[in-house]
C-alpha cells in the first residue's frame, strides 16, 4: 500500500459516484482514513471508506456536525450539480438552488473545519470547481459557470486568511470528465452520439478526462507533497482552456 496520505483523516462530500468516488478510492489506497458521504444511500454501499453516511450538503446543521465529529485533516468539497441553460432559461429558484448546493455548502463545510484545523496547525481543503467558471465560458452553463467562478473566489479568500495557520485551500478545475452525470447530460440532449462527439472535440487532447485523473490531483493537493501551493485554481482539462 502506498502511504502518501498515511494517517490523515479525510471528509468527502458527494463521494457516491464520479469524481468523489474516485477520490475516495485513491485516498483509501494512500492509507487515508476516509469518511465518505453522499445524498444517495445506495451509492455509499460499495465504497471502500472507513465510514459512510447519508448527507445532503444543503443541510447546514448536519454537515457541520458531522465534520466537527470527525475532525478531518483533509476536507474535499465535491458536491455540485449542473444546471443546463443560458441566462434566458434560468429562474431565480434554479439559481438559488445551484448556488446553495455548489457554493454555500462549501462555505458551511469550511466554516466548520477551519477552527479544527487551526487547533492542529495544519489542514488541506480541496474544492471541486470547474474550468467552466471565471476561466472559460461554455454554452448553456450560465448558473453553473456563476457558481463555479464563486468557488474560485471562495478558495482564494480562505487560503489567504489562514495561510499563516498551516491551512491550505485549493480548487480543482476539471474540464469534461467521464462520470455518470456526464452521460446523463449527453442523453438529455436527445442525440447522445453527436453530443459525445462535440464534448470530445472541446479537448485538444481528443478525449474526455477520467475521474481517476482528477483524483490523482486531489491526492497531491491533500498530501504534504503540495505544501507550497495554496489559493490556486488547478486546471485539469485536456487542454480545453488553452485556446
Active-site residues, by number, are 144
Where does this chain touch ligand NAD (CB under 6 A) — which range of 4-12, 53-61, 135-143, 222-230?
53-61
Q: Using the rule CB under 6 A, which residue among 8, 10, 12, 18 binds ligand NAD?
A: 18
Q: Which residue is nearest to ligand NAD (CB)?
A: 80
Q: Using the rule CB under 6 A, which residue among 31, 53, 58, 216 binds ligand NAD?
A: 58
DSSP string covering the chain, please? Answer: ---TTTT-EEEESS-SSHHHHHHHHHHHHTT-EEEEEES-HHHHTT---SEEEE--TT-HHHHHHHHHHH--SEEEE----PPPB-GGG--HHHHHHHHIIIIIHHHHHHHHHHHHHHHHT-EEEEEE--SBTTTB--TTBHHHHHHHHHHHHHHHHHHHHTGGGTEEEEEEEE-SEE-HHHHHHHHHTS-HHHHHHHHHHTSTTSS-EEHHHHHHHHHHHHSGGGTT--S-EEEESTTTTT-
In this structure, are residues 113 and 75 in contact, taking their beta carbons and an 8 Å threshold?
A: yes
Q: Any contact of residue 39 with ligand NAD (CB under 6 A)? A: yes
Q: Using the rule CB under 6 A, which residue among 32, 52, 170, 179 binds ligand NAD?
A: 179
To which residue does cell 447546514 refer? 60
Q: Using the rule CB under 6 A, which residue among 8, 11, 13, 230 binds ligand NAD?
A: 13
Q: Any contact of residue 238 with ligand NAD (CB under 6 A)? A: no
Instruction: Rank residues 120 and 183 by Cβ distance to ligand NAD and give the closer one.
Output: 183
For ligand NAD, what does the binding mask look like between residues 108 and 147, x meaning CB under 6 A? --------------------x-x-----------------
CA distances from 27 to 24, 47, 65, 90 (A): 5, 12, 22, 37
Q: How many residues bind ligand NAD (CB under 6 A)?
A: 30
Q: Any contact of residue 47 with ligand NAD (CB under 6 A)? A: no
Task: Report in angstroms how near the CB of residue 120 gets to ligand NAD at its nearest.
Answer: 25
To which residue does cell 452525470 refer? 181
Instruction: Rank residues 119 and 239 by Cβ distance to ligand NAD and give the closer one.
Output: 239
Q: Any contact of residue 16 with ligand NAD (CB under 6 A)? A: yes
Nine cell digits for residue 11:
471528509
Q: Any contact of residue 76 with ligand NAD (CB under 6 A)? A: no
Task: Report in angstroms how near the CB of residue 155 gets to ligand NAD at its nearest.
Answer: 13
Applying CB under 6 A, the residues found at the interface with ligand NAD are: 13-14, 16-20, 38-40, 43, 55-58, 78-81, 101, 128, 130, 174, 176-177, 179-182, 211
Amino acid at each position: 500500500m502506498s502511504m502518501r496520505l498515511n494517517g490523515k483523516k479525510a471528509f468527502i462530500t458527494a463521494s457516491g459516484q464520479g469524481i468523489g468516488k474516485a477520490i475516495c478510492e485513491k485516498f483509501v489506497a494512500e492509507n487515508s482514513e476516509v469518511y465518505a458521504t453522499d445524498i444517495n444511500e445506495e451509492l455509499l454501499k460499495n465504497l471502500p471508506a472507513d465510514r459512510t453516511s447519508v448527507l445532503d450538503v444543503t443541510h447546514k446543521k448536519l454537515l457541520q456536525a458531522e465534520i466537527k465529529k470527525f475532525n478531518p485533516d483533509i476536507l474535499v468539497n465535491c458536491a455540485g450539480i449542473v444546471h443546463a441553460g443560458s441566462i434566458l432559461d434560468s429562474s431565480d429558484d434554479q439559481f438559488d438552488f445551484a448556488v446553495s448546493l455548489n457554493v454555500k455548502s462549501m462555505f458551511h463545510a469550511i466554516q466548520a473545519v477551519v477552527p479544527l484545523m487551526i487547533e492542529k496547525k495544519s489542514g488541506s481543503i480541496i474544492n471541486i470547481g470547474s474550468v467552466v467558471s471565471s476561466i472559460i465560458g461554455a454554452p448553456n452553463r450560465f448558473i453553473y459557470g456563476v457558481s463555479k467562478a464563486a468557488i474560485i473566489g471562495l478558495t482564494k479568500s480562505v487560503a489567504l486568511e489562514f495561510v499563516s495557520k498551516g491551512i491550505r485551500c485549493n480548487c480543482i478545475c476539471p474540464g469534461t470528465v467521464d462520470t455518470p452525470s456526464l452521460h446523463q447530460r449527453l442523453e438529455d440532449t436527445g442525440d447522445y452520439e453527436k453530443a459525445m462527439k462535440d464534448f470530445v472535440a472541446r479537448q485538444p487532447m481528443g478525449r474526455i478526462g477520467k475521474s481517476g485523473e482528477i483524483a490523482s490531483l486531489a491526492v497531491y493537493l491533500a498530501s504534504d507533497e503540495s505544501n507550497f501551493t495554496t489559493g490556486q485554481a488547478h486546471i485539469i482539462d485536456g487542454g480545453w482552456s488553452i485556446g
